[in-house]
Amino acid sequence: MKIQAFATHEQALKFRALRNEVLSSNIANADTPNYKARDIDFQTALKNATGAQLSLRSTHELHAQPANSFSTGTDVQYRVPTQPTLDGNTVQTDVEQAAFAENAVQYRASLTFLNGSISTLRYALKGSD
């Protein structure tokens, strides 16, 4: 059974993890000729995922629930470099490392919010000790 209160946190963690993979792939391919740096528009991806999720309704408990999957085809975009290289590679290592660090902090923040929600729910169910 899935608790809807955690659905946004779940989607946020999924997108942060996917963005982490994309950014680390960019860093790993910094010296690969003709490699094009990619990134995910996190706000748009999360908005699309939660909007689609909220619009679905089941009228019976036996109805199949939609899988919480997302398409990477529309969410992953190519990054426009400020200074392209001669070999066609668009990875700017400093930009990618900064984006990776920012994404890691935001992933941790999402985990903290989720932990706080779980603690509040646990306290409400259990009561004070």
Predicted confidence (pLDDT) per residue in 60-73, tens digit? 555 444 444 444 44
Q: How many domains does the chain have?
A: 1
The whole-angstrom separation of Cα 102 and Cα 96 is 10
Does the structure show a pLDDT above 90 at 82? no
Q: pLDDT digit string (tens) for 20-67?
A: 999 999 999 999 999 999 998 877 766 776 654 444 455 555 544 444
Domain extent at residue 78: 4-126
pLDDT at 129: 58
What's the mean per-residue pLDDT of the chain? 79
Nearest to 26 by CA among 117, 95, 91: 91
The whole-angstrom separation of Cα 127 and Cα 71 is 41
CA angle 15, 19, 20 (to 5 degrees): 115
pLDDT at 53: 45
